[in-house]
Amino acid sequence: MILDLVQRRVAVTSTLPVFEMGVPGRPSVPQRVLDALSPDARSALLANKVQATGQAAIRRRYGAGTSPCLSARQK
């Protein structure tokens, strides 16, 4: 399948980082990753993490106080 995608020049992007960013309780971003980012990128990443995992955002997104991602990971 990978060979076919390459031959057809199809771009494939992992969405795992997007999923991981919005799951409450995930470990914080490692310092070495933060150190590798520009100051603007670091600020944006941390602001997005706070916004995605804040209780108000979770309530708006899921209509409940907890994310369904947590129970999906446990199954």
Residue 52: inside a domain: yes
Closest CA to 66 of 75, 74, 54: 54
Domain span including residue 47: 15-74
Residues in the chain: 75
Q: Which residues contact 51 (CB under 8 A, 6 or more apart)?
A: 57
- Report if residue 2 sits inside a domain: no
Q: What is the count of structural domains for the chain?
A: 1
In a domain, 27, yes or no: yes
Assess if residue 33 is contained within a domain: yes
More confident residue, 49 or 22: 49
pLDDT of residue 9: 92
Residue 8 resides in a domain: no
Bigger pLDDT: 49 or 18?
49
Do the domain assignments include residue 4?
A: no
3 domain-assigned: no
In a domain, 6, yes or no: no
